[in-house]
Structure formats: C-alpha cells, structure tokens
C-alpha cells in the first residue's frame, strides 16, 4: 500500500508539472486507473485517487473529463458499502 500511495503522489506531482506533455492514451489510462482506485479497500489509496482526479480536472477543466461526474453519481447509487463510504458526506457533518 505504501508503494502504491507514493506512486500515486508522484504521478499527481508529474501531472501538475508536465500535464501538457501527456499523450491522450496515457491520460485515458490514468483516468481509468484513478476511477478504479476510488473504490480501493484502503482509505489512503482512495484519497490519492481523488487527488489525482482533482489534479486532472484542475489542469484540463471539467469539460475535458465530463464523464467523471456521471461515474461518481453511479458510484453514489451503488449498494456496495465501500463505494457508499467513498461517496458519503458524513465526514463533513
């Protein structure tokens, strides 16, 4: 888990620095992996995935990845308890 979270943070930093140099195929792979990691069993991995998604949307704009909103809504409607935890807002209340 430590290696995966460190790799995710390195990826996030590279996205912030070299986003314009990233080809579309690599970006699509990163997007798919980040969405998949949002439902990982480890909180830290889910958090890093959220950070990567936020970085991509911040750098490219939401119009470069509008599907992320629909994917997140589908996760919110899922009955899996881990996915429900990811999508819940109870930590803010």
State residue 58's pLDDT score.
Answer: 94
> Which percentage of the chain shows pLDDT scores above 90?
62
Closest CA to 51 of 67, 70, 78, 30: 30
State residue 91's pLDDT score.
Answer: 47
Mean pLDDT of the chain: 86
pLDDT tens column, 16-61? 999 999 999 999 999 999 999 988 889 899 999 999 999 999 999 9
Spatial separation of the C-alpha atoms in residues 61 and 44, rounded to whole Å = 25
State residue 88's pLDDT score.
Answer: 62
Closest CA to 51 of 7, 79, 12, 25: 12
């Amino acid at each position: 888990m430590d290696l995966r979270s460190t790799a995710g943070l390195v990826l996030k930093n590279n996205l912030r620095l070299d986003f314009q140099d990233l080809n579309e195929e690599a970006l699509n792979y990163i997007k798919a992996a980040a969405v998949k990691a949002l439902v990982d069993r480890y909180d830290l991995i889910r958090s890093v995935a959220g950070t990567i998604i936020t970085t991509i949307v911040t750098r490219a704009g939401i119009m470069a990845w509008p599907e992320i909103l629909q994917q997140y809504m589908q996760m919110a409607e899922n009955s899996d308890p881990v996915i429900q935890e990811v999508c819940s807002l109870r930590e803010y209340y």
